Amino acid sequence: MKSSVITFPGSNCDRDMDVALTKFGFKNKMVWHDDQELPKSDLIVLPGGFSYGDYLRCGSMASKSKIMHSVINFAKSGGLVMGICNGFQILVEAGLVPGVLLRNKYLQFICKNVHVKVDNKENTFFKNLDKQVLEFHIAHNEGNYFCTNDQLKEIEDNNQIAIYYCDQNGNTNDQINPNGSIKNIAGIFNKEKNVLGMMPHPERMIDESLSGEDGSIFFKNLLNNIK
């Protein structure tokens, strides 16, 4: 399976994503933001980091990068696109997934392990996953997902919420919410479920010496689903 990771100026999880995808069997290519064309890919990943220094608004300038025209076309024609952290912010700014990402409720960058509940398995990203609750890792300053009531209703009606922050038993409540996101939303799909944006970094959870191994479960499952 072929994947591509886009490097924007200021991306800093691009290498980590490359390491993870390669480890689990993807043939990965790094793509420069200023390129016009995407290599032939089964999956496009927008990695974490601080594209364009997060100036103006997180993800806003990257969403206007040259390569993003191709990424948007790829997504609109049904191609799989995943945005992690800053990549999620770019997806939001590009209008590929609904809503916005505000500054964390306590106005602080937050880096720690969290649990997320997988709600919707009728999509390529989470299909066949044998776990309901995953331990992931977050590291962000602007992960506070927000949308209008109308949007929320639409998102819920379409089953677009991908993952929620929860405790280790899968309970979602305000106390466990690390950044104040609406409904504890940690990740969201587009209507067609071929685009996923999420704040947690599965690429940081890919071996037992790191913060955990649930990232491995996610990537292995993803590869199998694409095959």
Partner 1 sequence: MLVDEKIAIEHGLKSDEYKKICKLLKRVPNITELGIFSAMWNEHCSYKSSRIHLKKLHTKGKKVIQGPGENAGVIDIEDGDAIVFKIESHNHPSFIEPYQGAATGVGGIMRDVFTMGARPIANLNSIHFGSSQNKKTKNLLRGVVHGIGGYGNCMGVPTIAGQTSFDSSYNGNILVNAMTLGLVKKNKIFYSKAAGLNKPVIYVGSKTGRDGIHGASMASASFDDKIEEKKPTVQVGDPFTEKLLLEACLELMAGDSIIAIQDMGAAGLTSSSIEMASKGNLGIEINLNKVPCRETKMTPYEIMLSESQERMLIVLENGKEDQAKKIFDKWGLDFAVIGKTTNTKNIELFFDKKSVAKIPVNTLVENSPMYDRKWKKSKLPKKNKINKTEFNNFKIKDVLKKILSNPNICSKDWIWEQYDHTVMGDTIQKPGGDSGVVRVHGTEKAVAATVDSSAVYCWAHPITGGKQIVCETWRNLISVGARPIAITNCLNFGSPENEENMGEFVECVQGISEACKYLDYPVVSGNVSFYNQTKDVGIKPTPTIGGVGLLRNYKNMITMSFKDIGNQVLLIGKTEGHIDQSLFARVILDEKKGPPPEVNLFNEKNNGETLLNLIEKNYIRSAHDISLGGMLTAISKMCIKGNKGIKLKKPKYLISEIEYFFGEDQGRYLIEVNPKDLKEVINILNKNSVHYDEIGTIIENDIEINQKTKVTIDELRSYNKSWLKKYMA
Residues near partner 1, by CB under 8 A: 9-10, 12-13, 15-16, 19-20, 34, 48-50, 52-55, 108-112, 137, 139, 141, 201, 203-204, 206, 209-211
Q: Dihedral of the CA atoms 208, 213, 219, 221 (nearest 10)?
A: 120
Q: Are 181 and 147 a contacting pair, CB within 8 Å?
A: no
208 given a catalytic annotation: no
We find the least distance from the C-beta atom of residue 74 to partner 1, in angstroms, to be: 24
Question: Is 13 part of the annotated catalytic residue set?
Answer: no
In the complex, what is the shortest distance from the CB of residue 157 to partner 1, in angstroms, rounded to a whole number?
A: 36
Active-site hit among 58, 85, 147, 166 = 85
**Which residue in 115, 137, 140, 201 is the catalytic one?**
201
Q: Identify which of residues 7 and 184 has a Cβ nearer to partner 1 in the complex.
A: 7
Cβ atoms of 65 and 7 within 8 Å: the answer is no
Burial 113-134 (b: 16+ CB within 10 A, else e): ebbbbbbbeebbbbeebeeebb
Q: How far is the CA of 109 from the CAs of 138, 140, 169, 180, in angstroms?
A: 10, 5, 25, 13
**Residue with Cβ nearer partner 1 (49 or 99):** 49
Point out the residues that are catalytic: 85, 201, 203
